[in-house]
Amino acid sequence: MPSLIQFGPKGLYCEKGGFYIDPWQPVNKALITHAHSDHARPGHKNYLCQSDSVALLKHRLSSNIKVQGQCFGKRININGVDVSFHPAGHIIGSAQIRVSDSQEVWVISGDYKLEQDKHIEPFEFMKCDYFVTESTFGLPVFHWKDQEETLQEINSWWHNNSSIKRPSIISAYSLGKAQRVIENVEQSIGPILTHGSVDAINKVLVASGIKLRKTKKLVEATEDEISRALIVCPPGAMDSSWTARIKNHAVAFASGWMNLRGARRRRGVEKGFVLSDHADWPGLNKAIRYTQASKVFVTHGYTDIFTKWLNSQGINAETVKTQYTGETVDNENED
Ligand SMILES: [Zn+2]
């Protein structure tokens, strides 16, 4: 029986090290995989995260929190337990957390994806004894096409709109998808404008030393700029007075859910791009096989189906709860 990490009432707990990973109730020491709100919760006494997440945690939780940053790959010792952070490829600052002692090696992956972006470190394949994986898109139907192809689709949609002076609004979560779209589209097509909430996150990142492309808030742009622009706004601002002010605009949604038939129509948007910050079915399987783990713990998403699948493939897997389900958690990273 593994003993280094337990699945306790407050979350993943390392008793020997005296710390939790992404706990959902206030604890003394919390190691955080990334800054999305279902992983980085308020109320902990001490936070430890990857260096690029420090400013995001302060911005989203409180400027007064006690938070320490750790660069990728550096091993530290906490009460006799080795801990290191490794790229998860999900959003800026997202990490898999490796926890080990002389007996066991654990990797808690948080959220992850295998596609390589221009602006963040690529996912690192890890070997371990015990692997904790998400399964947001853990069904065979979720199969992303090549990312370059999807980016080309976005570019040509934007280019076509821009050439007839039609503003292009693309829906993308403020933390994660927004930066991914901004940093990976073809910059020469036109100006990139942002919603205030995207701009706020970008400013936090830039102030903490992360290089991002120059963008402008929509409210600061001229009519001519708006007509040629790619406008990045969070899903919550779609179909609002904010988008209504932009005349004659085209709308698109960038999400893994666009992979499902009818999803675009249900959202009422003209265009859907399959672009997810999570691993698809082949990606989950590839990452898990690489670990050669003797046991895989499955959380977040299609847990039961995915666990069954892994067991049928001869991989010892079990569904675990790593999220308090008694409250409403916003679905900001659910795509
Ligand atoms: Zn996330």
Distance 112 CA to ligand 1 centre (A): 8
Kindly give the distance from the C-alpha atom of residue 160 to the centroid of ligand 1, in angstroms, as a whole number: 32
pLDDT above 80: residue 73: yes
Give, as residue ranges, everything with CB less than 5 Å from ion ligand 1. Answer: 36, 111, 333
Q: 264 pLDDT band (50/70/90 cuts)?
A: confident
How many A from CA of 70 to the centre of ligand 1?
19
Centre of ligand 1 from the C-alpha of residue 167, in Å = 29
User: Is the pLDDT at 329 greater than 60, yes or no?
Assistant: no
Distance of CA 322 from the midpoint of ligand 1 (Å): 13
CA of 22 relative to ligand 1 center, distance in Å = 11
Q: Is the pLDDT of residue 6 over 90?
A: yes
Res 108: pLDDT:
98
> Which residues are bridge partners to 273 per DSSP?
254
Taking the domains of the chain in order of start, what are their residue ranges?
6-141+278-319, 147-273
Domain 147-273, second-level architecture = 3-Layer(aba) Sandwich (3.40)
Q: Could you tell me the distance, in angstroms and rounded to a whole number, from the CA of residue 277 to the centre of ligand 1?
A: 8
CA of residue 230 to ligand 1 center, whole Å? 24
331/335 Cα distance (integer angstroms): 8
As its CATH architecture, domain 6-141+278-319 has 4-Layer Sandwich (3.60)
CA–centroid distance, residue 333 to ligand 1 (Å): 5
Q: Is the pLDDT of residue 331 over 60?
A: no
pLDDT digits (tens, 9 = 90+) for 147-165: 999 999 999 999 999 999 9
Q: What is the pLDDT of residue 334?
A: 55
Q: Are 242 and 219 in contact (CB under 8 A)?
A: no
Q: How far is the CA of 223 from the centre of ligand 1 (A)?
A: 35
Q: How far apart are CA 29 and CA 223, in angstroms?
A: 50
Give this prediction's pTM: 0.94
CA distances from 10 to 7, 13, 24, 281, 322 (A): 8, 8, 6, 29, 9
Alpha carbon 219 to chain centroid, angstroms: 27
Is pLDDT of 72 > 80?
Answer: yes
Q: What pLDDT sits at residue 328? A: 37
- What pLDDT is stored for residue 323 in this prediction? 63
What sign does the dihedral 255-260-264-267 (CA atoms) show? negative
Q: How far is the CA of 40 from the centre of ligand 1 (A)?
A: 10
Q: What is the pLDDT of residues 38-56, one digit of tens each?
A: 999 999 999 999 999 999 9
Task: Label residue 326 by pLDDT band (50, 70, 90).
Answer: very low
State whether residue 96 is helix, strand or coil: strand
CA of 110 to the centre of ligand 1 (A): 7
**Least confident piece of the model among 38-52, 265-279, 319-333:** 319-333
Q: What percent of the chain has pLDDT over 90?
A: 87
For ligand 1, the distance from its centroid to the CA atom of residue 36, given in whole angstroms, is 5
Kindly provide the b/e burial profile for residues 15-27, where b requires at least 16 CB atoms within 10 angstroms of the residue's own CB: ebbebbbbbbeeb
| Distance from the alpha carbon of residue 334 to the mean position of ligand 1, in angstroms | 7
Q: Do domains 6-141+278-319 and 147-273 have the same CATH topology?
A: no
Q: How confident is the model at residue 259 (pLDDT cuts 50, 70, 90)?
A: confident
Q: Is the pLDDT of residue 118 over 70?
A: yes
- In degrees and rounded to multiples of 5, residue 145 shows phi and psi of -80, 170
Calculate how far, in angstroms, residue 98's C-alpha sits from the geometric centre of ligand 1.
18
Residue 187 one-letter amino acid: Q
Residue 305 Cα, ligand 1 centroid: separation in angstroms?
21
Mean pLDDT of 77-101: 98
Least confident interval from 50-54, 175-179, 262-266: 262-266
With a pLDDT cut of 70, the percent of the chain lying above it is 96
Question: Are 32 and 47 spatial neighbours (Cβ–Cβ below 8 Å)?
Answer: yes
Confidence of residue 322 (pLDDT cuts 50, 70, 90): low
CB distance 69 to 54 below 8 Å: yes
